[in-house]
Chain A
């Protein structure tokens, strides 16, 4: 259950999202997350939300941050993911490594943006290497390639490093979802000075961090589900077929109610996840929920939902895109199986 303090926080975030994101959500998707929006997120402390106040952060605890992401995602999933990227995948990593405090401050203030280039939960190898101090290689699947700096996972013969780099070339492609956040190719070729090395043995540390923050992805997915369902229910009360409102039809009412129940259960679970295994399970279920809710909303809206004007097809794209960005089912389920069944599980 959310505490009084958390309820207050959610209420403040909800007010911000309603007033400053809801009406421009479609515009954000087309034009990207503007500097002005970044500044507002910074003013609310969201770009370094989980960092201590002494380190330019807002000092928000873990479950409160999940509630923040869930609330923002109801109005703009792209903005919620952007916050997750800046806060969790960039600033938290820099903070944990106690490196590049000036970059933390710049992101926290909305002045600059960062991204994380990795292959932790993907099927493909990154193909970015480091030899001596020379970084080289390229990747086709970079989120926010036009960020001001990249934290890049690079491998050497013996170990792996996370280094701060700037790409020599980027090519942007139209992503399936979260179209407010750029996506595409980036290549690297530069000498890495010592102070740009953020982590050594980065593979294990990153793996642990990314899987352990799975509940934040779940929070975004739950927010998206809730929003899609609310819109579907709203439309079912406006649209008539066979001279009755859609919600009056038993199968439609039943499926909407069932979805509501699933979302409420997932919201409770979000506040209860205790360890990495719980969080991965939560993420997998929440992503599945988001895909189902978006499919349901699109089905209720019919042809109108298939057009971008109403923003319903966006849920359908975003939910699958979030799945692609944040989950490799095989790797996720392997970790869970080994944890809840036996270390020998998922071997063959």
Chain B
């Protein structure tokens, strides 16, 4: 058993680190944080440098980690420009792949996943957008919220209800996944501004009014969209865990830079040393659980409980590490990058399933084991 990643992946990590340090300059980080613009030019450079690839998902994972280590806002925005691609990779038809997936993977298009609604965030089965069969195809009406890439994406992988749930217990039945293009009639995305952190990411509220969706844009079997989305979340949550690990590592980097400038007597304080030890241990543990969950997902043997553990724990660590670092740096963190990472870190406990949802997934999986014992 080895805990080492293959050399190819480690080389990608180095390249990603160097790229982020070179391209995510202090000025650009501040610019995108201030203006909340989408970093499209950097996204193009990320593609040109070959960081977005599905051939070896480990490369994307370590790139996510290294990019977020330097700046989570820009890092995630650029890599998430292919958000949801795994959905088509696993469930798309050849035509869908040709039209949407391959151009996205070449950087010619941007994709987004549209699941969350104003009244249904973590409760995916509670969504109320409706997609109904018509003569010419399907008609979509609904309202989506907090959609990453919402105003810049060319197309969305959207979940809507196509049939009423057969019973209260089976609310997740009757949901269908469709590819919806942003520029179609009836699609109205509005950018949401004023986020606490991750301000380089594009976030939108989108309304869909009598949008005609062609038959060929339905993904997978109709009514089975919930399962497709859950499969996707099993994958995407691993990347959010990597985002958290990268953010936490970035905070440690900043703390070390801070300590390097302080007199040796400050570093020699055991209180400071213990804090460093705690931070380092937390990050190492978060990284290991993330890699273990990723190893399962990437070998087509996902363990939803482990994925949720990784996402929940790594998010917890990113936020905890920020708090410990602030205790040491104090007032000097004001206006610094540490302050920004503190703001950026919080979202990891909310998006792609809140920490509470992750705990529910974990506990349900564990409780199944009790039933097995019985």
Residues on A close to B: CB < 8 A?
121-124, 140-141, 173-176, 183, 240-243, 249, 251-252, 291, 295, 298-299, 302-303, 305-309, 313, 316-317, 320-321, 323-325, 327-330, 333, 348
Contact = CB atoms under 8 A, between A and B. Distances in A.
Contacts of B332: 122-124, 141
16 contacts: A123-B262, A123-B329, A123-B331, A173-B334, A175-B335, A176-B339, A176-B343, A243-B126, A243-B168, A243-B171, A251-B356, A299-B356, A313-B195, A320-B326, A330-B271, A330-B328
A309 B194 contact: yes
Interface string B338-372: 01001100110111001110010000000000000
Interface in B251-278: 262, 266, 269-272
Contact of B121 (A121, A303, A323, A325): A303
A299 B195 contact: no
A316 B121 CA distance: 21
Contacts of A321: 334
B28 interface: no
B152 to A, nearest CB: 18
Given A124-B331, A299-B350, A307 B195 contact: yes
A243 B123 CA distance: 9
A303 B145 contact: yes
A333 B197 CA distance: 31
B126 A241 contact: yes
Contacts of B351: 303
B116 interface: yes
Contact of B319 (A141, A240, A295, A309): A295
B323 interface: yes
Given A303-B145, A303-B351, A316-B346, A141 B266 contact: no
Nearest to A183: B334
Contacts of A299: 349-350, 354-356
B54 interface: no
Given A241-B123, A251-B356, A302-B121, A141 B334 contact: yes
Main secondary structure, interface of B, reads: helix
Given A176-B333, A295-B319, A308-B196, 7 more contacts: A123-B262, A123-B266, A183-B334, A252-B356, A302-B122, A306-B350, A329-B330
Contacts of A309: 194
Contacts, number: 111
B186 interface: no
Contacts of A175: 334-335
A327 B194 contact: no
B346 A324 contact: no
B331 A324 contact: yes
A323 to B, nearest CB: 7
Contacts of B349: 299
Contact of A306 (B196, B272, B331): B196
A303 B146 contact: yes
B103 interface: no
B119 interface: yes
Contacts of B323: 291, 320
Given A123-B266, A123-B331, A291-B323, A307 B120 contact: no
A213 B106 CA distance: 61
A329 B359 CA distance: 32
Contacts of B121: 241, 302-303
Contacts of B335: 140, 173-176, 183
A203 to B, nearest CB: 17
Nearest to A243: B126
Nearest to A175: B334
Nearest to B351: A303
Nearest to B349: A299
Interface centre among B116, B123, B146, B346 (most CB of A within 10 A): B346
Contact of B123 (A123, A242, A307): A242
Q: Return the 9 tightest CB-CB contacts between A and B, nearest first.
A: A308-B194, A313-B196, A241-B123, A303-B146, A329-B327, A122-B331, A173-B335, A324-B331, A176-B339
A309 to B, nearest CB: 6
Contacts of A123: 262, 266, 329-332
A324 B330 contact: yes
A330 B354 contact: no
Contact of A241 (B120, B334, B347): B120
Contacts of B123: 241-242
